Amino acid sequence: MRHGKAGLKLGRSSSHRKAMFRNMVTSLFKYDRITTTDVKAKELKRWADDLITLAKRGDLHAQRQALAIITEKEVAYKLFNEAADRYGDLHGGYTTTAKIGNRPGDSAPISVIELVARGKSMPLQPRSRKSAKSDETKKKAEKTKEVSIEKQVPTVPETQTENA
């Protein structure tokens, strides 16, 4: 029985798995969003939530525990400086995942995992097609053109008669 043995094995040795998740969690805090498989994203969520909880605590022991996991000092410094402001009122749920489809090579399900910003609890949306994006950008460009044209045209004051 596997009582009390949390975490996924993912067909890797323990050292490989630990190194992989250390690199992934460092990348997540560095870039705020990464793309990976669904199963790895679910496990990465556990690692990230634990580290954010340590960063919110903020004491020296928490910093040393976080530096034992995060591979770059700059990323750990950024995490500890931003954690209280960004996640101060949250008690968990620091990350969100969105499924974006299957990988072309082996058809593995792929997800995007992202850190939740304070005040922004909108779910991630998969990328739309370029044609839909280009239509939206064209409409926005036309609106800004109309506004800029209206702003550029000066109002002509009524001319006073020069004879007076």
Every domain of the chain and the residues it spans: 14-122
Mention every residue, 6+ apart, whose C-beta is less than 8 A from residue 103.
Answer: 37, 109, 110
Give me the CATH topology for the region 14-122. 50s Ribosomal Protein L17; Chain: A, (3.90.1030)
Per-residue pLDDT at 16 exceeds 90: yes
User: What pLDDT score was predicted for residue 88?
Assistant: 83
Task: Band the pLDDT of 6: cuts 50, 70, 90.
Answer: confident
Per-residue pLDDT at 112 exceeds 80: yes
What is the DSSP-derived secondary structure letter of residue 71? S
Please list the residues that pair with 113 across neighbouring strands.
Answer: 34, 97
Q: What is the mean pLDDT of residues 22-32?
A: 94
Q: Is 122 helix (H, G, I), strand (E, B) or coil?
A: coil
Q: What is the mean pLDDT of residues 129-143?
A: 61
- Beta strand ranges found along the chain (DSSP E): 33-37, 95-102, 109-115
CA–CA gap between residue 70 and residue 49 (Å, rounded): 13
Mean pLDDT of the chain: 81
Q: What is the mean pLDDT of residues 59-81?
A: 94
